[in-house]
Amino acid sequence: MISAANAAAPESSALRLPGYRTFLLTFMLAMMADNIEHVISYWVAFQKFHSAALGGFAVVSHWLPFLMFSVPVGALNDRFDSRRLIQGGMVLFILASVGWGYFFVTDSLRMWHAMVLLTLHGCAGVLWSTSSQMLLYDIVGPAHLPSAVRLNATARYLGVLVGPGVGSLIMQTLGPTRGIFVNTAFYLPLLLWLMSAPYGRHFRGVTAGAKRAVRGLADIVQTVRDVRELPVVAAMVLLAGAASFFIGNSYHAQMPGFAHDLGHGDPGMAYTLLLGADAAGALLAGILLETRGSWLRTEPSSALKLAFLWGCSLLAFSFMHAYSAAILVLFLAGFLELSFSSMTQALVQLNAPDTIRGRVLGLFSMSASGLRAFSGVTVGLLGSVTNIHTSLAVSALGFVMVAGVLLLRQRRQAP
């Protein structure tokens, strides 16, 4: 599949680089394993505890580590080999899966055990995600970076789509206990490849200037100050943070309610098709931008316009009463989301100073992922007070206003 894509890839495509093709394949396997573990562990925990509180903790434990540790992990990438930090993330993932398996085998799972394992899984995600972005720049270089970021975002959507299906199949054929142990094998290709992968600043023996100590909260404050001097990076961090805080992916959790309100056929099937439309739009964006991406330049104005339109599309969806129109709008929303989110990340990568690249990428990860812990409040809690349509409309409007202000500000600053 990758070879075929490589044959049709444009000159700027990262798929033309052998090292990136290996990285992408192992990244996809790890992403699939991440989602398989969610499927198996969430199902067993629900069957044992029937706890809505534990379900809520699962969401918080997934995103809160990004909020707390992304910048420190970025700082570690400025000091240490990114390959080893990614391997550390894979080891934590494997330990979490093995931990679940042990408690399944012994039938000794307790609520606090599940909470510890969910937190361990979240910390593994921070090590993996932030460090992967650091290594990605070195694998592909500036010329292929927009393509690589876009392909990684597409692979992430594929993992989200394929992982649950594979997880369900594994549970049905092997059962949850054997399945969770088998799942550890999907993390191994990336872990093993990175043992000798010829990439990374430390592999080349290149130093990136004076190395600051890792100082926790002080690092976050100092990195914010540094980023304020970089207009493009600052705008993209604010944009990603606003998208994460106001909306995130919390409307996905409310999709059963939207499907019911749209009143089209079986709510289960309606729900599946609505989510599928959003994901299909994102996948199409990844394919078109990779093969026909010359029409959309990687620049701040493009990212801001796409983000503004994404917010408008979700605002329109919140008022939808026709099921077919809702499908089309969600398809458009998925297309716009992948387009602007991958572009913001590429712009941060391209404009981050090499001396503090890890910290800047950590701050972006904290903004783009960590603030999702609060989107459940803006969409979910507000929805319980009013209704899910009003809460999504208010949240989308808040984001549109932020994106609009950033867009006007960028136009004024443009020469």
Tokens 């500000």 appear where? 409
Alpha-carbon span 401 to 242, nearest angstrom: 10
Each as own residue / partner, the long-range contacts of residues 1-9 (CB below 8 Å, 24 or more positions apart, any chain) are 8/291, 9/290, 9/291
Alpha-carbon span 137 to 245, nearest angstrom: 27
- pLDDT score, position 287: 84
- pLDDT score, position 354: 82
Task: Give the three-class secondary structure for 107.
Answer: coil
| SS3 annotation, 320-342 | CCCHHHHHHHHHHHHHHHHHHHH
Per-residue pLDDT of the chain (415 residues; tens, 9 = 90+): 444 444 444 557 888 899 999 999 999 999 989 988 888 888 888 788 877 677 667 777 888 899 889 999 998 998 889 999 999 999 999 999 999 999 999 999 999 999 999 999 999 999 999 899 889 988 998 888 888 988 888 887 777 667 767 877 888 889 999 999 999 999 999 999 999 899 876 665 555 545 555 566 777 788 889 899 999 999 999 999 999 888 877 676 667 677 778 776 555 566 667 777 887 888 888 888 877 766 678 889 999 999 999 999 999 998 888 888 999 999 999 999 989 998 998 899 889 888 888 889 999 999 988 888 776 666 656 666 777 788 888 889 999 999 999 999 988 876 6
- Phi, psi of 264, rounded to the nearest 5 degrees: -115, 100
Alpha-carbon span 148 to 24, nearest angstrom: 9
**Which secondary-structure segment (H or E) carries 232?**
helix 231-246
Alpha-carbon span 267 to 261, nearest angstrom: 9
- pLDDT score, position 157: 72
Each as own residue / partner, the long-range contacts of residues 50-57 (CB below 8 Å, 24 or more positions apart, any chain) are 51/111, 54/111, 54/114, 54/115, 57/115, 57/118
Q: CB 221: neighbour CB atoms within 10 A?
A: 12
Alpha-carbon span 186 to 16, nearest angstrom: 24
**Would residue 50 be called left, alpha or beta, if left means φ above 0 and alpha means ψ between -120 and 50 degrees?**
left
- pLDDT score, position 5: 46
Quick one: which of 252, 227, 253 has its CA closest to 240? 227
Task: Give the three-class secondary structure for 353.
Answer: coil
The C-alpha angle 102, 184, 95, rounded to 5 degrees, equals: 50
302: Cα separation from own chain's centroid: 20
- pLDDT score, position 149: 87
**Which secondary-structure segment (H or E) carries 113?**
helix 111-183
Alpha-carbon span 172 to 174, nearest angstrom: 6
Give the C-alpha distances (Å, rounded to integers) separating 331 from 149, 273, 315: 21, 10, 14
Alpha-carbon span 294 to 414, nearest angstrom: 22
Which residues lie closer than 8 Å to 368 by C-beta, 6 or more apart? 240, 241, 243, 244, 341, 344, 345
Domains and CATH numbers, the chain: 1-214 (1.20.1250.20), 219-415 (1.20.1250.20)
Give the C-alpha distances (Å, rounded to integers) separating 240 from 55, 84, 237, 303: 26, 27, 5, 10
Which residues lie closer than 8 Å to 46 by C-beta, 6 or more apart? 54, 55
211: Cα separation from own chain's centroid: 28
Exposed/middle/buried for 198, CB within 10 Å: 0-12, 13-18, 19+?
exposed
What does DSSP assign to residue 248?
Answer: T
Alpha-carbon span 208 to 354, nearest angstrom: 6
**Which secondary-structure segment (H or E) carries 70?**
helix 52-79
Task: Give the three-class secondary structure for 109.
Answer: coil
- pLDDT score, position 8: 45
pTM: 0.81
Residue type, 269: M
- pLDDT score, position 94: 97
